[in-house]
Amino acid sequence: MKPDVSLNGVSMSGLGWLRETVNFPTPQSQSETVTVPGRNSPIRFSEALGRVSYQPRSFEITLSMLGTRSKFNELVSETVNRFSGQLVSVVCSEEPGLYAVGTVEAQPAYDPLTGKGQLVLSSADGDAFRYHTEETEVVVNGTGTAALNNDYMPVVPTVTTTEETVLAWTVGSDTVNKTVSAGTWTFPELELAHGENTVSVSGTGVTTFRYREGRL
């Protein structure tokens, strides 16, 4: 399969580009330290919120084509007008289940001696995490236990209930209980960690959990 990359669902191969390289370097953590006189180790703030925070992910996509200058200009115009300066989702053909998000800027170059044109699309403000293209949905009919499996990115699901429902889950050593009426709810304390998270559901209606998973 010829390697491809799509922006907002638009295939670059379909536009006439050849994908040369896609570079998604791992984002660096937000590491801040304070040296305190009398202490042998610094105070580290990389986990100030109880988990590691990351800097924006920069990425770069190199596209190329062989042809005349007029054909190159046509391809560049089509691509730049659609995407330059826009916030886009980027999906590589090798990992169709994940997408990255960032604002892309374009830098074209053409060599008349070889007839090769290149277009470099780069982003300096991409989200640190890459997201699953499909949302995760877990449905519980009546009373039961919801097994909410999550990738590495912490996420808070939305909870939709059709009848009054009692939800219960643990945070550390504490148990949280919520009684909710029919509707859609979000609870910041119901943040899913990596792996399986369980929520006890008691009621007669249908309870649906929806969330989008992500990873570095």
pLDDT in tens, 28-85: 887 777 777 877 777 666 655 567 888 899 999 999 999 999 999 999 999 999 999 9
Residue 102 has pLDDT above 60, yes or no: yes
pLDDT at 50: 66
CATH class of 5-132: mainly beta
Asked if 170 and 126 touch (Cβ cutoff 8 Å), the reply is no
Provide CB contacts within 8 A for 38, sequence distance 6+. none
Residue 173 has pLDDT above 90, yes or no: no
Determine the Cα–Cα distance for residues 125 and 95; give it in Å rounded to an integer. 21
User: 136-215: which CATH architecture?
Assistant: Sandwich (2.60)
- Going by the DSSP 8-state scheme, the letter that residue 192 receives in this structure is B
Give the CA angle between residues 180, 183, 187 to the nearest 5°.
60
Asked if 43 and 124 touch (Cβ cutoff 8 Å), the reply is no
Residue ranges, comma separated, of all CATH 2.40.30.200 domains in the chain are 5-132
Residue ranges, comma separated, of all CATH 2.60.120.260 domains in the chain are 136-215
